[in-house]
Structure 1
Amino acid sequence: MIRLLIADDHPIVRAGIVGLFAAEHDFDVVAEAPSGEEAIALAAAHRPEVVLMDLRMPGVGGVAATREIVAASAVRVLVFTTYEDDDQILAAIEAGASGYLLKAAPAAELLAGVRAVAAGQTVLAPSIAAQLVARAQGGKPRPHVDPAPRLTARETEILSLVADGHSNPGIAAHLMIGESTVKTHLLHVFEKLEVNDRTRAVTRALELGILPRQF
C-alpha cells in the first residue's frame, strides 16, 4: 500500500481526490491537510510515502511546506496544482518536490504519477517540462559559466525517458538493455551534472539545454 497525505485547502477538491485514491486497491489515504502547517505536522505524524501538495494555501504555502517536509524526512512530495507559473514550478522543484502535475490532468495520469513518485521516480507534466525547456532556452546567458557537461547519446536518451516518467525497468525494456546498465548510465549522469537524484538531474539538464528540444 502507498501511504498518501493529501494537502489542499479546498474541501470539495480534496474530497474528490481522496475518493479517487480510496477507490484504488494500492493506496491508503492516511491524512488530509487543509493548510501547509497541517501538512507539515501530519507528514511528521503519519510518515506517508507521498504527499500530494497544492501550492496556494493559507498560511504556509505549498513550496515552504514541501521544503520543510523533504528536509525533515524521506517523505516525497508531488505538487498537484492549477498553477503553471515558471517561478512557482522552479521554486517547488528547488524545494525538493519529486514532481509537478496539473489539476487538469486525467485521473489516470494522477494515479500513475503518485505511483511513480512513490517508486522513486520523477514526474513532470508535459506542459511543465515544455515550460522549463523554453525558460532554459530563452534565458540570458550567464557570464563566466563553465561549458555544459557532455552526456553521451545513450545517457541523454535515458535521461529523457526519466523525465517522461519511466522507471528503470521500463527504460531497460524500452531500450532492450539491462536494468543494471540503466543504473550505471544514470550514475554517470548524476556525476556529470553534479546532482544527487533524478529530479534534479532532469531540471539541471533542462536548465543547460542538454535534453532534446522535442522533450
Structure 2
Amino acid sequence: MANLADEIRAAVHCRGGHVEATTRDILNIVQPRLEALARERTAYALGPHVRRGNVTAQPGQRLTPREIAVLRLVATGHTNARIAAELGVPEGTVQQRLKGVFVKLRVHDRAHALAQAIATGQIIIDTEGKGEL
C-alpha cells in the first residue's frame, strides 16, 4: 500500500502555483484509510475474540432480539453474571452478545452501547413513567 502522503501528492496537481485538487479528491483518498483504522481500533478495543473473528457482527447492523434483551438488563444495572442467570444462558454468551452489540453500534462500553441503542431507536424508553425499557 502506498504511503498516504504520496497518494495525496499524486492527487494534487500544481499548475502555476495553484492546486488543482478538490476537497473531495483528497477525501476519497483519506476516508478509506480512516475507516480501516477505525475498524482496527474497534477490534483492538473489543478484545481478542473480535480480532480472531469470533464475533460476526458488522457495524451498522440492527440488534437482534437477544442483544436487545441483554441491553435492557444492562440498563437496569445488572452484571453479566446476573444477566446470564436471568436469560438462562452462560455468562460467556452474554459477553459475546455484548461484543456483538459494541461492534454493531460502534461503541466500546456498556453505557455508550445503551445510549447509542436509544439514539438509533433500537431501544425505546418508557415515557409514561412505568419504569420499563
TM-score by length of 1: 0.30
Question: Hey, which of these two has a bigger chunk of helix by percent?
Answer: 2
State which structure, 1 or 2, has the greater radius of gyration over its C-alpha atoms.
2
